[in-house]
Amino acid sequence: MNDRQKLNQAGFSDYRTIEENGGTNPVEVSKEFYWEMLEVLPPKKWTRGHDYESFYICEALTGNLHEWITRIGNRYFALVAPRSSTHEQIINKCLPLIN
């Protein structure tokens, strides 16, 4: 199963439910998917640190919701969240998948 299929299976294409819930849970994706998303459009709110990195795709999925992409160490995640989310909020949503 490729990364886009994993995201669709996790509900990333059900925009009505995503809006009602204010986003999605993170899904682990490949390094290749991370780089594809980083290079497809100019990243917004790109924040980099020693072991953490996050950005969102500038084109909204619907309304105020955007696809966020993160790197924590050598693992990569995607989730849908409001554009107003902070780097810390996005990383904190992904951290439980690391432990």
Q: How confident is the model at residue 97 (pLDDT cuts 50, 70, 90)?
A: very high
**20 against 58, higher pLDDT:** 58
Stated pTM of the model: 0.86
% of the chain residues with pLDDT over 70: 95
* Model pLDDT for residues 52-68, shown as the tens digit of each residue: 999 999 998 888 899 99
Pick the range with the lowest mean pLDDT from 3-12, 45-54, 83-92. 3-12
Distances from the Cα of 18 to the Cα of 52, 78, 80, 98, angstroms: 25, 14, 8, 23
Task: Give DSSP secondary structure letters for 9-76.
Answer: HTTTT-HHHHHHHTS---EEE-HHHHHHHHHHS-EEEEEE-SSEEEEEESS-SBTTEEEEEEEETTEE
In the chain, where the domains are located: 3-98
Cα distance between residue 79 and residue 92, in whole Å:
12
